[in-house]
């Protein structure tokens, strides 16, 4: 896709888990040179089990890895030199941790005045600012879990939506600060947070309360803004289907595609609000029609009718999705053990192309020596740092180096 928008921007990332790494992934996919700083032995996120086993491969492509012992004087000196040589720093340590190491934002105001320093936090400045947080903590205290589950059974969303959205807001803040820097020459302190991100996401429900005087009900019990906006069983009860008819013109298309009997021609149901008030009449009729047809047949008719619809899919179904496989939205990557994997790209196109993979998933410390030389360290300095164990370097198998070179040529 030619030169990427952030080509030439240098980033150093001190982060783990999801929120900070997702910020770095966004910048890396858009062309920035992202150096991920890992502890000796590698980011512990690499070794998580269960639902955490996908965190590292999903959020660490297009990065280089250097392993540094930040507890050693030599390691701290290396980190300081890296930070002084970049445009952006991303971190998601617990509040105050980098400051204690001498790597807080104030430490670089003179040596790197153009630095955009981004901290991804649990909370922005305020009474909760000292607390640690997790995606689930934010969802619970921010009202999202209440809205997702039925009354009395708060339920977190089925993905790390707040971590990822918080990372997106971090990237937005970084991009805004970089743009401002082109005029002022000054860097900025950017913070994004889990709690405030959750509040932003449930803002529509807060607004509903402000507008109507009535608190929003959890989504399983909500009064929908549309009469047909639900999951329906098909002829095969295991093959569920969501259908949303969200305008009067879509209603006309829908009733032409499906025989709803007198309901379809009743002028009382011509407008959306009238249909919402008649849900107890309309929805049972629609359920009966849906249950009488196979999902495949319904999909064809719904697409022809140009209404919103979706077969209910599982995440693993997306590997074979024809749309994602046709437009480059699944990226080829290689796990550190050599297994190939395909994972979603950034959900955007620039000049008709989805940003792809320039660097495969890094091995822990696999780029340590190259990164140091790129930042001006001499061969003697690199050798001394390796001997002192202030940094660690991991050799990458030739086959994987070849695969990464192929990615670079393809991009």
Pairing outcome for strands 33-38 and 10-14: parallel
Pairing outcome for strands 63-68 and 116-121: unpaired
Pairing outcome for strands 88-91 and 228-233: unpaired
Is domain 224-315 classified as CATH 3.30.1540.10?
yes
Q: What pLDDT is stored for residue 187 in this prediction?
A: 98
Which ranges of 90-160 does DSSP label H, i.e. alpha helix? Answer: 97-100, 135-141, 144-148
Task: Report which secondary-structure segment, H or E, holds 354.
Answer: none
Per-residue pLDDT of the chain (411 residues; tens, 9 = 90+): 679 999 999 999 999 999 999 999 999 999 999 999 999 999 999 999 999 999 999 999 999 999 999 999 999 999 999 999 999 999 999 999 999 999 999 999 999 999 999 999 999 999 999 998 999 999 999 999 999 999 999 999 999 999 999 999 999 999 999 999 999 999 999 999 999 999 999 999 999 999 999 999 999 888 788 999 999 999 999 999 999 999 999 999 999 999 999 999 999 999 999 999 999 999 999 999 999 999 999 999 999 999 999 999 999 999 999 999 999 999 999 999 999 999 999 999 999 999 999 999 999 999 999 999 999 999 999 999 999 999 999 855 443 444 444 544 444
| Fold of domain 10-200+327-410 | Rossmann fold (3.40.50)
Q: What pLDDT is stored for residue 403 in this prediction?
A: 47
Cα 336 to Cα 319: distance, rounded to the nearest angstrom: 20
Q: What pLDDT is stored for residue 1 in this prediction?
A: 61
Q: Angle 228-229-233 (CA atoms, 0-180°, nearest 5)?
A: 85
Half-sphere exposure for 108 (CA within 13 Å, toward CB): 28
Phi-psi region of 372 (alpha: psi -120 to 50; beta: other; left: phi over 0): alpha
Pairing outcome for strands 88-91 and 10-14: parallel
**CA dist 40 to 7, 91, 261, 269, 334, Å?**
29, 17, 69, 66, 22
Q: What pLDDT is stored for residue 221 in this prediction?
A: 87
Cα 369 to Cα 383: distance, rounded to the nearest angstrom: 9
- Answer yes or no: are the C-beta atoms of 360 and 403 closer than 8 Å: yes
Q: What pLDDT is stored for residue 224 in this prediction?
A: 83
Cα 97 to Cα 87: distance, rounded to the nearest angstrom: 21
User: Is this model's pTM higher than 0.85 or not?
Assistant: yes
Q: What pLDDT is stored for residue 8 in this prediction?
A: 97
Domain ranges of the chain: 10-200+327-410, 224-315
Contacts of residue 37, defined as CB under 8 A and 6 or more positions apart, other chains included, come to 12, 13, 14, 66, 67, 68, 70, 79, 82
């Amino acid at each position: 896709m030619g030169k990427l928008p952030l080509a030439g921007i240098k980033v150093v990332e001190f982060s783990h888990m999801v929120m900070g790494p997702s910020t770095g992934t966004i910048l890396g996919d858009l062309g920035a040179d992202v150096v991920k700083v890992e502890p000796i032995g590698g980011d512990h996120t690499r070794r998580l089990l269960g639902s955490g086993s996908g965190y590292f491969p999903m959020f660490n492509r297009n990065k280089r890895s250097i392993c540094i012992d930040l507890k050693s004087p030599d390691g701290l000196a290396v980190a300081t030199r890296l930070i002084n040589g970049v445009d952006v720093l991303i971190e998601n340590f617990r509040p105050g941790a980098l400051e204690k190491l001498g790597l807080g934002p104030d430490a670089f105001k003179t040596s790197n005045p153009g630095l955009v320093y981004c901290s991804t936090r649990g909370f922005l400045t305020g009474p909760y600012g000292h607390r640690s947080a997790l995606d689930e903590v934010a969802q619970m205290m921010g009202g999202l879990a209440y809205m997702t589950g039925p009354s009395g059974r708060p339920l977190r969303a089925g993905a790390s939506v707040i971590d990822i959205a918080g990372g997106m807001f971090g990237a937005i803040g970084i991009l805004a600060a970089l743009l401002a820097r082109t005029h002022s020459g000054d860097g900025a302190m950017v913070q994004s947070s889990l709690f405030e991100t959750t509040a932003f996401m449930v803002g529509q429900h807060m607004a509903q309360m402000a507008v109507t005087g009535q608190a929003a009900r959890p989504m399983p019990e909500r009064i929908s803004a549309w009469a047909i906006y639900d999951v329906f069983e098909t002829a095969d009860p295991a093959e569920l289907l969501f259908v949303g008819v969200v305008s009067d013109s879509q209603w006309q298309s829908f009733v032409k595609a499906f025989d709803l009997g007198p309901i379809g021609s009743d002028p009382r149901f011509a407008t959306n609000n009238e249909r919402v008030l008649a849900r107890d009449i309309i929805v049972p009729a629609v359920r009966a029609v849906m249950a009488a047809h196979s999902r495949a047949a319904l999909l064809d008719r719904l697409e022809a009718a140009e209404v919103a619809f979706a077969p209910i899919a599982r995440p693993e179904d997306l590997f074979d999705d024809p749309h994602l496989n046709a437009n480059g939205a699944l990226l080829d990557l290689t796990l550190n053990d050599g297994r190939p994997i395909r994972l979603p790209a950034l959900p955007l196109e620039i000049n008709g192309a989805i940003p792809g993979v320039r660097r495969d998933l890094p091995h822990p410390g696999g780029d340590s020596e190259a990164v140091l030389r790129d930042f001006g360290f001499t061969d003697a300095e690199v050798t001394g740092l390796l001997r002192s164990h202030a940094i660690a370097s991991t050799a990458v198998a030739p086959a994987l180096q070849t695969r990464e070179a192929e990615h670079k040529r393809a991009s």
